[in-house]
Homo-oligomer: A and B are copies of this chain.
Amino acid sequence: MIPIGERINGMFTDVKKAIAAKDPAAIHQLSEDQTKAGAKYLDINVGTAASDQVDAMKWLVNTIQEKCDTPLALDSQKLDVVKAGLEEVKGHCMINSCQADPEKLDIYLPLCKEYNAALVALCMDKDGVSQDTAKRLENAMTIVEKASEYGVPSDHLYIDPIILPINVDQRQPQMIFEAVSQIRMMADPAPHITVGLSNISQSTRERHLINRTMLVMLAAHGCDSAIVDVLDNDLMDAWITADLLMDKMIYSDSYLKAALA
């Protein structure tokens, strides 16, 4: 399992304040806490409130790297913000995200190649998120083919089938499970699958329960990554247990601790 910690995001008040004041303390703490909790990447999103998003991204990258070497996921829809992050990053990182339009992939995939970065690629294009599985799979195939064309290995590809809130369309989860199974077969080795998990529970009352149930169901179909609140212990315990049941780690009585060691 490849958890991407979602917490360093300018939409959270503490992060927004830290960015505005260029106060590293909260950022260092979140980096450390999420890493200890099992994050394999730390997502960083400056939020829409930052007055200068390029400057904010650079500051976040450098601030985190002062104390922490967990790979970063540069989360922005703006290319100049992503590029600013890439220039500051030491070592491997992830770009989050790019849509499946060929003309966008033609920009992002060469960047991945240049920086040895992983890419979160969304199963949506300029026409938006499709209501059916076939269109999502068509998008995924475009991503896989383009990545192959540019020599970006499938191990650096994190395809996101796009989760919509359960109270918006209840047919979506089953379509996503089907898409996940199919996408995993599109290349060998299989591309990773990642999701913005918290979307599923938007505006519901049982957010934690719905999030972790969805994550376990996704894992049962081969999804191996997700952008999540890694500080949610119940969520991480459920995910580790799903990994155990998918034979991705060896059983021991203390498998929960072993997974985070």
Interface residues, chain A, CB within 8 Å of chain B? 166-167, 170-171, 173-174, 177, 200, 204-206, 209-210, 213-214, 216-217, 219-221, 237-238, 241-242, 244-247, 250-251, 253-256
* Shortest distance between the CB of A70 and any CB in chain B (Å): 26
9 cross-chain pairs, A with B, having the tightest CB-CB distances, nearest first: A217-B220, A213-B241, A220-B220, A173-B245, A205-B253, A170-B247, A216-B216, A167-B251, A209-B241
Given contacts A177-B220, A220-B221, A245-B166, contact A238 B213 (CB under 8 A): yes
* Shortest distance between the CB of A210 and any CB in chain B (Å): 6
Closest Cβ neighbor of A214 among chain B residues: B245
Given contacts A170-B250, A246-B174, A251-B170, contact A256 B216 (CB under 8 A): no
Q: B170 contacts A254, CB within 8 Å?
A: no
Distance in angstroms between the alpha carbons of A170 and B249 in the assembled complex: 9
